[in-house]
Structure formats: structure tokens, C-alpha cells
Structure 1
């Protein structure tokens, strides 16, 4: 799935979308690791009327979540949406398929199961050709107003899809194994925000980013509290960690950083 993100520089968004007219985005600070289930505020791109960069909370709060107790119980399942469910008329995601957004990041984390290792090995993954990756998302406004402002907070989910070859080798364990975020190609990013037929949505949902367009390396544990800085994404050395079969860029036994 996609539960851990990094986003180091908001300027990357303004460089990619100059029509936003670069300006301060004071509520957002660079981060090298945020966890989905902490429901952090995150910049997302929407295009309802015009292209906007807005601060939404990660983790959709659906209209059927009427109380704080219902939100606490159900929201943790709403940080990701499977691509196969977006056009499934029985799924909630079908109801908000027209509320599409782009979720910017400079990378994400996933864990690899390795025989002989007690703990899964965390990897940091980013795109090779650009510092900014844009993931397909859906958004919804919370039915419960903010207690301070009275406004309905915007919330979002990241769409995941079956993993490409390299991500299948990294995200190889657990009940959600073999998934990755739907990272859109440059030519598809604006299109995702347009008014689309279900057939056009399906075409975009079917896109698989090629393995060779991703960089990846093991890092230290991201489940232990630490200062939010660049050290989190620094390559780590694990003794006797094998590389990913048939993939360049894996970490071979004895390789040092």
C-alpha cells in the first residue's frame, strides 16, 4: 500500500505548475517521513474550476462517518484506495471518483521481507527523472466541521495499484503485499484532474510506472521515533542483505555507504 511519505520541497510543485504563481505555503513544512495513520495535513492539487494547491488531511472522512467515534474506528482504512475499487459501483470510492486530486511527494517508503532477517527492511523509493512524483488521489470533505473554524476539512486518499516488477520484490510480504501507489507519468498528471468518463479514468488507473524509472535503497527503521530530517532517507547498510533479483540498484552483501 502507501502509508509513509516524504516531501522535502514545496517549490517543486510551483516549478511543475507555474500557473499556481509561486507564493508562500506557510502551513506546510518540509518532511522526510509522515505516517498515513497520523492523518497529517498535506498539500494536494485539485482543479475544481481552476488549479489549486490546498492543504488537506491524509485519510478520507466519508459522509457516513457521523461521529468522532465512527471516524476513529473507520478512518485508518481510508488512507489508501485500491484502483480496482474506484469504478466498482458497490465501493465508496465510486461515489467520489469525480473528486480527483494529485498528491505530491519526493518519495515513499515500503518494507521488504528478507529470509534470515527478523524485521522487514525499509526502503525509500523515488522517481529518477524528476524530483517530484505525483500520485493519483481522491478527496472528500469531512461531514464534521472544524471546531475552531467551522469549515469542513478537506481529506484525501492515495490510490494504489498492483506493483511493478521492482516494487513487487520490495513490497513482498503482509496482507497488502504487491501494491504500490499509482504514480502518474508527466503526460497524465493534468489529465487526471480533468472531467473524465469512466473509460478514461480506467485508462489512467491502468498505468504502471516502469521499474527502470524508480530509484530505491534501504534505510534505517522508520518505525522508531527520530528527528524529521534528511537522515531518515540516507542509505543504510545491512550485513548480508541480498540485492533484488534481476534488478540494478539493489544492495549486495558487503556493499557499504
Structure 2
């Protein structure tokens, strides 16, 4: 996932009551297991707040360093089907702790029969900033030096639309995509009185494929400088078509 645009664009996407004073360092490519902070918006204590939370949720049961190390790597994404219909799931228990995860784009890999999968950069057409539906939680373990409880989040995924099925076409979580929200749905997602049935309607939303822009890029699974070159498009004539 990436966020390399102006934070100010988030305030144009959704009205925010509280904005932090510190600067955010742009990033062009981060995997969930880097625990990188991204801009999220939450409704807390009667106000809409912009925060910088780490990608990779720490649940309340991860109350020791060993448990965090053991379980956190699987908490980057939450399947939409579990939020309402699996009452034993941690995602069901956290369904009222909703957030918007802001991004300028994300990466997904396609199986094309090569030795390595082909990565794509994915964004919304004619849009610099958009958001995913997410859930958040504060870590139960404070930072030793400061006593701070860090904020963490997960991105909700849903069954993929037709375009994303072609790209995310392999692996245990294939044919899924992040739940991308319109501005109107984002506002509803944060509403503190959102009912489970209203939530079900939002979770069922599928962004039309015509609104998505994608292009193939060089491998992102090797260490590279965190700059715009990671999004450079490969020449299409040398690649299998979608």
C-alpha cells in the first residue's frame, strides 16, 4: 500500500474535527508486516479525528510481546463475511471500532505462469486519494518508553469485482479486494449509530471495475528505495493482457 499525496486531500474527502500537528512521511510501498503508520480517520469521543495508525491490528488478546509476535502478522486484513456473521470472530467484536484507511494506491500480484507473479499498481481513476473500510484497536501493551497505546488497523476485504479477479487470481486469499468506499459510504461507515443491517449494506458494496485504473510494474518483492519508481509501468506489449 502507498500514501504519497498531501494529507490536506483527506480533509477535502471528509470533514475532520481534529488533525494532528506532526508531519506524515510519504511512502510509495509498504507491506503490512512492516507495521508502517498510515493516515486513518476515526470517530472517537464525539469527534472525527485524523490519526496515524500502524497497519497490522493488535487485538486485546495479544497482551504479551510473544502473542503479538505470534498473531499480528495475520491481522492485516479482515474478511467482510466474518464481521457480522461470525460472532466468535475478533472482527465481530471490533465491528464498532470502524475507521477509514486512506491511500493513494495499492499493489496486487497476478499469476501469469512465470517464475514470479506479476505485480500491478491499482488506484481509482482521476483520484489522488481514496479510502478503504477498516477496523482499529489500540494495543493493550503500552510503549515502554512513553506509555503510549499505539493505534493499529486492519483493512476489510470483500469478494473481488471482475477486474480484480483477473489480477488477484492465485493463492489462499485469491479473488478478493479491499472494500473501497465512496465519499457517501465513508461518511456512513464512521457514523457512531450505524446499525448492523446498515453495515451489511456497506460491506456488500462493490466498486465498479470501470472506476479502477491498473498497470503492471516491476517486482516489489525485493528491497528497493521507497520512491515513485516503484510505480513505473512496464511496457504492455511484452506482457500478457488482462
Fold conserved (TM > 0.5)? yes
Equivalent in 44, 47, 54 of residue 43 of structure 2: 47
| Alignment pair present for 1:184 and 2:177 | no
Shift, 1:20, TM fit: 4.6
Equivalent in 67, 70, 84 of residue 67 of structure 2: 70
In structure 2, the gaps of 5 or more residues are none
Q: Please list, as runs of the form range in 1=range in 2, the aligned pairs for 1:118-157 lying within 5 A after superposition.
A: 118-157=115-154
In structure 1, the gaps of 5 or more residues are 245-257
SS in 2 for 1:6: coil
- Give me the CA root mean square deviation: 1.5
- Quick one: structure 1 residues 25 and 240, their matched pair in 2 at CA, closer, same or farther if it must change by over 3 Å? same
Equivalent in 34, 38, 48 of residue 34 of structure 2: 38
CA distance in 1, matches of 2:139, 2:18: 28
CA distance in 2, matches of 1:126, 1:189: 17
Shift, 1:148, TM fit: 1.6
| Alignment pair present for 1:231 and 2:232 | no
Q: How many residues end up aligned between the 2 structures? A: 238
SS in 2 for 1:207: coil
Equivalent residue number for residue 215 of structure 2 = 217
Equivalent in 199, 205, 211 of residue 203 of structure 2: 205
Shift, 1:18, TM fit: 5.0
* TM-score (structure 2 length as normaliser): 0.94
* TM-score (structure 1 length as normaliser): 0.89
SS in 1 for 2:221: coil
| Alignment pair present for 1:29 and 2:25 | yes
Q: What CA deviation, in whole Å up to 9, does each residue of 1:14-57 have, x standing for no partner?
A: 2223545777541x211110110111111110012111001111
